[in-house]
Structure 1
Amino acid sequence: MSQVGVSRLRDYTADSRLLYVSGLASALGAVAAVAAWCLLMLIALATNLFYFHQWSFLERDPWEANLRWWSVFIPVVGGLIVGMIARFLSPRVRGHGMPEAVETIVFGGGRVQPRVAVLKPIATAIAIGSGGPFGAEGPVIVTGGAIGSVLGQLLTMSDSERTVLMVAGASAGMAATFNCPMAAILLAVEILLFEWKPRSVVPVAMACVTAGAVRRLLLGPAALFVMKPQTQPVYHQQMLGALIIGVAAAFFSLLLSKAIRLSEKMFHKLPFHWMWWPAIGGLGVGIGGLFFPRALGVGYSTLQLMILNGRHTEVKILVGILVVKSLIWVFALGSETAGGILAPLLLLGGAMGAMLGRAMPQMTAGSWVVVGMTSTLTGAIGCPLTSAMLALELTRNAGIMLPVLLACMASYGVSVLVQRRSMLTEALSAKGLHLSREFSVDPLETMLVSQAMHTSVFALNSDARVEEAKVWLRSMEERGAISWSHWQRIFPLVDAEGKLTGMLTRGRMVAAAQNGDSESPLADFAVADARTISPFHTLKAAAASMATYQLTSYPVVASDGKLLGVLTIEDLLKGRTQQDQRENSRRRVLRLRWPFGAAPQTVADAVTEVPPNMSPTRDEDETASH
């Protein structure tokens, strides 16, 4: 008999490949950091070329240039170039990057075209440098992920390992862009990995730490935004204000998400090829920039201004961001040009927080801006822990962690109730793909084979003759169709000590009864080397084995070879049934006794009614009559 694997239950399933993949991820983190630095330099170069007509890598914003009426057409030119790159070189450069990365990770086996690693940053630099109101982090995530995917495709790897490398590169790109290695790790856990396993978390963390270290060499160790520390204690008034802003951020992100979907539908109705859409979106960007120049570009300098001034930021700047920046960003995203969403969400959320912060209790300047920007990011893409840690790493201000965390969790709690899809999964849903953002322990992982198997099994002696198969077949035919629906479809052969010596399927039993000589050994028709399973395997391992070997039943055999029972594919539902009972069967398990106001619990009170459509547990003592 060949047992399916050896039962060695452990807390973790990682093996020595973890070290190999982690080493590759560390090197990948350094490469992703350099790629992020190159993208930032390309954006600065494109901005200088488009608006200042200079070959320079000095970081400047488009609004610092002397804008004229013809400046309206600069984003149009940039959008036209992006559209041509997408049309003739690779359509994968379109979009803000995050949904595309998730789609590749979950549905694409971590495979990305190598050209995307080059074309995506170029298209992004052109889109942002020409005034596009986007961020660099989304495209950097795609670029880093593409580099990791290409590395995984060059080496002999499984799809899971290739996906880990892709996520490691993507997270490292974000870590290098924002100088936030811890937030990048959490982003991978909350959005990109879709699992919590050492085999994936350790390589991603190694990549992010390496990227953070290399980033310090290239761009310096300073935080992205300067902020005065919050040294005073945060009391209940500030916490209540954070709660209010968190709830407001959830509805604000919902409004932005719906506006983006509406914009995308409008562009899809245009009688033009999608190559022209980025140019049309650029026209909207140019017009908006003419009215409010600070709406152009990434907007880090404007966000820094709001953090320094807090609620004392000029109202016209806040209104311009909330109105003009929102409109041109939504319009440009609908055109499916290249550009990220994280930086715009931070800027829009920061403006919302600064506006509402005017009515909130006093905190350090910029605190309400940070609360607003992180809670809006949470509501938009569903990453409360990432957003909270991002606030700490962007500002190095640990004193505002409590209100930030409360606002993020409030935004997250409300957004999951009012939004069917986030900005990340909305695009996937439009393609007919479904993706759940909830993760839990697989109930098949918590139940062993011994807890679900049938123990009342019709077994035959190893020296049985074909005559016994003939008797069995006559009995089945006499009872009719109902007997053929019985759960047992395999028939073990056991010796005098109860050890499994062979196994017959139902088809082999019928063949033996119809064609065999009555005195012939039934073992001649049996499978001598049948696959078995240990009682200490999990149901998840059993399900995987059934899928691999295309089997629906397994004899359950102890380490000494004795037959203990039979596990069928229907038994795998037992774990799911217990999970359904755990989630849907509601009852009181503790009652207060007199003199606390309630009558003593009676036997009737302790009886739990079986929920509707819930079958009772099978009686393991039932016998199979054949």
Structure 2
Amino acid sequence: MPASPTRRRWTLGRVRALLRSRGPTSVLFRRRVAVVAGAIAIGVIAVLFAGAADRAGEAYARLARDWRWLPLALTPLGFVALVWLTRLLAPAARGSGIPQVIAARELPDLGVSTLLTMRTAIVKAVLTLAALLTGASVGREGPTVQLAASIMALFHRMLRVPMRGSVVIAGGAAGVAAAFNTPLAGILFAIEELAAAYEQRVTLLVLSMIVIAGMVAQSLIGDYVYFGVSGATIPLHTALLVVPVAGLVGGAAGGLFSRLMLAAALGDHPVSRLAKARPLVFAGACGLVVAALGVASGLTWGTGYSAARAMIQGVDAPLWFGPAKFVSTLATAVAGLPGGIFAPSLAVGAGVGNLLRAAFPDGPAGAIVILGMVAYFTGVVRAPLTAVIILAETTGSRGLMLPMFAAAFVADWASTQVCREKLYHGLSRGFAPATPAALSGAPPAQPLSSE
């Protein structure tokens, strides 16, 4: 029986309604395209950025070996130039990138127009590479987070889709997943650090974006493990002794780093006043500290990746490496140039583990170093689940998971006793997108800070 005219009109109307709500021109369809295309782009660009960063760090290491005293002039002058260029070209590119993403999460549309523009992202990427070429103790992971969120914002603008806070979070977390080749850690980072609450609404589509970015990066560079497969384990009786000590020492040291960073960025004392009033002079002084430590040690330049990997594999390192890398990273972070603290913090944590090896000489060296890394990294970022999963995925030490969790939770408590405020969330207050300074593009009133 042929359909009645009334029935036919209802069916055609239903089809038109479905096309409007879910068809190629609908907001839902365009949002899905933006998320998937953005995630693929994040994976590709994160891999390219990682390769460029590695080559920049290696180039400076060769230069420092061939011309031992040159860094005493090159590094301070480089810091001054980088801070000047950052303030001139993109003030929102200073520091790590993670505080900017946290700030943009609160007001996505305004954040996209100020903190997550492609101009800021490009300046961030180029100047981070330049920072590695001057010997700065910076990492690429924090900048990758801001770069990834900016890429996601770009695709949303291109497809005329409103930006949501959950997408800002997932864009940054996709950067973590691609930077470390750790998709699971990226998801936890989105929930634990960027969202700052486990009840944060993050949809399956957003979680898929994190996985897509990680898988794209893995397909381009292979199924590699960031620090190499360690497979470290530790006997129970040794873990009962090492874990609480590692958690207390590493957590307190990480909390001290956070407290000093926040004091430099948000405090009112002679150092912060100098950073505000004479930012280039302050940057040059910080560069001189980094140069002096690098020339004296030959080990504290750049990310510290090689030193950390060697210690995980059981290679002996000087006991002063951890403290020296701590000072070098802090001096770089407060100077105000673009660059993150993820990789340098892992290197400092390896130095903490190296100190613990001296206290527990009969324990498995690699496992103790990893526990020091987990504890210190947790103390800095105050994200224990993320710290454990990142170290498990970047070292292949899944047999060490239980001791790592225990050390991380002890470290989280110890860190709160030294510094109550979480580092990235405190620093994000200097990037509040609703301020007139942010809207005008002028340098913000807060002093320069880091990841």
| TM-score, length-scaled by structure 2 | 0.80
| Superposition map of 1:143-162 within 5 A | 143-159=147-163, 161=164
Residues 147 and 166 in structure 1, CA contact (< 8 A), matched pair in contact too: no
Distance in 2 between the 1:63 and 1:292 partners? 15
Moved more, 236-245 or 184-193: 236-245
Match of 1:324 in 2: 324
| Superposition map of 1:117-266 within 5 A | 117-159=121-163, 161=164, 163-194=165-196, 196=198, 200-230=202-232, 234-264=235-265, 266=271
The 3 A distance-change label for structure 1 pair 139 and 270 is closer
Distance in 1 between the 2:118 and 2:352 partners? 39
Match of 1:292 in 2: 297
Match of 1:92 in 2: 92
Pair 1:391 & 2:391 matched: yes
- Give how far 1:273 is off: 4.4
Distance in 2 between the 1:34 and 1:308 partners? 30
The 3 A distance-change label for structure 1 pair 298 and 167 is same
Question: Aligned match of 2:39 in 11, 26, 29?
Answer: 29
Distance in 1 between the 2:276 and 2:28 partners? 51
| Superposition map of 1:30-49 within 5 A | 30-47=40-57
Amino acid at match of 1:74: L
Amino acid at match of 2:213: A
Residues 374 and 387 in structure 1, CA contact (< 8 A), matched pair in contact too: yes
Where 1:294 maps in the other structure, the secondary structure is: coil
Residues 124 and 338 in structure 1, CA contact (< 8 A), matched pair in contact too: yes
Distance in 2 between the 1:359 and 1:217 partners? 42
Amino acid at match of 1:209: V
Amino acid at match of 2:186: A
CA deviations on 1:211-238 (whole Å, 9 max, x unpaired) are 2222223322110112442467x42441
| Superposition map of 1:461-610 within 5 A | none
Amino acid at match of 2:316: T
Amino acid at match of 1:257: S
- Give how far 1:210 is off: 1.6
Amino acid at match of 2:251: A
Give structure 1 stretches of 5+ with no counterpart: 1-14, 52-60, 434-626
The 3 A distance-change label for structure 1 pair 313 and 36 is same
Distance in 1 between the 2:162 and 2:54 partners? 38
Distance in 2 between the 1:308 and 1:248 partners? 22
Distance in 1 between the 2:282 and 2:49 partners? 23
The 3 A distance-change label for structure 1 pair 62 and 173 is farther
Distance in 2 between the 1:231 and 1:272 partners? 51
Distance in 2 between the 1:418 and 1:77 partners? 34
Which structure is higher in strand share? 1
- Give how far 1:272 is off: 5.1
CA deviations on 1:339-379 (whole Å, 9 max, x unpaired) are 11111111111211221133338554411111111121112
Residues 30 and 159 in structure 2, CA contact (< 8 A), matched pair in contact too: no
Distance in 2 between the 1:403 and 1:362 partners? 17
Moved more, 410-419 or 390-399: 410-419
Residues 247 and 410 in structure 2, CA contact (< 8 A), matched pair in contact too: yes
CA deviations on 1:125-157 (whole Å, 9 max, x unpaired) are 111221111111000111111111222233444
Distance in 1 between the 2:63 and 2:251 partners? 30
Amino acid at match of 1:178: F
Work out the percentage of aligned pairs sharing the same amino acid.
25
Distance in 2 between the 1:23 and 1:195 partners? 27
Distance in 2 between the 1:279 and 1:101 partners? 28
Q: Indicate the structure (1 or 2) with the bigger Cα radius of gyration.
A: 1
The 3 A distance-change label for structure 1 pair 107 and 48 is same
Residues 103 and 432 in structure 2, CA contact (< 8 A), matched pair in contact too: no
Residues 86 and 275 in structure 1, CA contact (< 8 A), matched pair in contact too: no
Distance in 2 between the 1:223 and 1:359 partners? 29
Residues 79 and 283 in structure 2, CA contact (< 8 A), matched pair in contact too: yes
Match of 1:78 in 2: 78
- Give how far 1:284 is off: 2.0
- Give how far 1:108 is off: 5.0
Distance in 1 between the 2:172 and 2:143 partners? 9
Give structure 2 stretches of 5+ with no counterpart: 1-20, 434-451
Amino acid at match of 1:350: A
The 3 A distance-change label for structure 1 pair 67 and 47 is same
Match of 1:69 in 2: 69
| Superposition map of 1:348-427 within 5 A | 348-360=348-360, 362-427=362-427
The 3 A distance-change label for structure 1 pair 239 and 151 is farther
The number of aligned residues is: 401
The 3 A distance-change label for structure 1 pair 392 and 144 is same
Distance in 2 between the 1:418 and 1:80 partners? 31
Where 2:40 maps in the other structure, the secondary structure is: helix
| TM-score, length-scaled by structure 1 | 0.59
Distance in 2 between the 1:87 and 1:190 partners? 31
The 3 A distance-change label for structure 1 pair 363 and 180 is farther
Distance in 2 between the 1:356 and 1:323 partners? 13
CA deviations on 1:497-528 (whole Å, 9 max, x unpaired) are xxxxxxxxxxxxxxxxxxxxxxxxxxxxxxxx
Match of 1:313 in 2: 316
Amino acid at match of 1:102: I
Highest relative contact order (Cα 8 Å, sep 6+), 1 or 2? 2
